[in-house]
Amino acid sequence: MKKIGIDISQLNYEHYGIVNYILGFIDMFTEHQDRFIPIFFKNFRRKTGYKFVKIFYFPFKNFKFRKFWDNWIIGNIARFNKVDILITPYFATPPQKGFLKIPIIYDIGFLNVDKKEEYSKNYYTYSLNNSIKRADKIITLSDAVKSELTERFHFSPDNIYSVYPQIIDFQTTSTDKDFTLFLYVGTIEDRKNPIQAIEIFKKILKINTNAKFIFIGQIRDEYKKIFNKYLDELENSVRDRIEFLGTKKHDETLKMLNRAGYLLFPSKYEGFGIPVIEAFYSKTIPILNTTPIAKEVGGEGGLYFDCNKMEPEFDLELLFDRSFQVKMIQKGQEQLTKYKIKLEKQKEDLFDMLSSTGSKRS
């Protein structure tokens, strides 16, 4: 059986999307120990409860040390452990030879970041370019990102595998949905379009003055000045209907999704958009921007709002129509089923590729 090395050092961070994705990979490979021998490499002392974990304690205090792990340590650990395949879930591919190298590239949205984040942008761009040059195969989160990688970097689509995030299977516990409650889930930053979310809510509020909008997530430091200025200029009748809860534990966020009738998620760019699937599980209707990834993940279960033109692709008054709500919830459940079926197919395609790939040990 082949040895699969997986870098799980990112579990030491608090980026929910990345952590969720890595945990999904751990589950996938531990479930397939009849086909592979998984070895998880980590750099932190905290116990994980997973078998086959190799520890190399090397704390990252800045990007400089992160690059040292990505470019030297993880590759040599993989060689020492004689892995056949190394999966690195953070844009990075080590230069060492002797094993198949597969980075996970979540998205390339950082290529368009603000100049204030130039150092971060340069770090990720450097890592991405090296990853693609060194990679034998690539794993990414969606067909939309796969298309971007193919078009921008001319990497063969035959060697890029879309694997959706593996989201926990839960069902709504709420028997009394509040369709006047609109929820925003995620960090509050320019990419997530929070100002446009409020602009959409202002239109909704004109139809139903009882509507309320709750934000779950922290405001990015570099975005606070812009966002707070915008909030200060809002009319009191709008500002009084908006509440900020800050960061919440994941189970608390799910409880809020169970209550809310709608998820307002007009992000400009996502690699996938986990809250959309979680909304379907919660029987909450997502309102999304008209981006390729939103259309891919939301399908017919989502309602779409063109944030460039600030125009909805549906009649806003229908948001408070019971028959429309029931119809959209049903479409959401159908889209959830499609997501599960596609994810299983994606996983099987990935495992077939890993099983059939020849060894590169030298």
Is 199 in the same domain as 266?
yes
pLDDT in 10s for each residue of the chain, 362 residues = 888 988 888 877 667 788 888 888 888 888 887 778 777 777 666 666 666 666 565 555 555 677 788 888 889 888 988 999 999 987 789 999 999 999 999 888 777 655 445 445 555 677 788 889 999 999 999 999 999 999 989 999 999 999 999 887 666 655 679 999 999 999 999 999 999 999 999 999 999 999 999 999 999 988 999 999 999 999 999 999 999 999 998 889 999 999 999 999 999 999 999 999 999 999 999 999 999 999 999 999 999 999 989 999 999 999 999 999 999 999 999 999 999 999 999 999 999 999 988 666 55
The residues, any chain, with a CB within 8 Å of residue 97's CB and separated by 6 or more, are 360, 362
Query: Is 41 contained in some domain?
Result: yes
Is 105 in the same domain as 209?
no
Residue ending a domain, choose from 163, 198, 222: 163
Is 32 in the same domain as 102?
yes
- Strands in 242-244's sheet, in edge-to-edge order, are 242-244, 212-216, 178-185, 260-265, 285-289, 303-306, 311-312
Is 270 in the same domain as 305?
yes
| Total domains in the fold of the chain | 2
Is 305 in the same domain as 159?
no
Domain extent, residue 262, equals: 178-340
Is 159 in the same domain as 16?
yes
Is 115 in the same domain as 229?
no
Is 123 in the same domain as 219?
no
Is 147 in the same domain as 237?
no
| Cβ contact 93:11 at 8 Å | no
Q: Smallest Cα–Cα separation from 227: which of 287, 266, 187, 171?
A: 187
Query: Is 357 contained in some domain?
Result: no
Is 7 in the same domain as 85?
yes
Query: Is 74 contained in some domain?
Result: yes
Is 209 in the same domain as 297?
yes
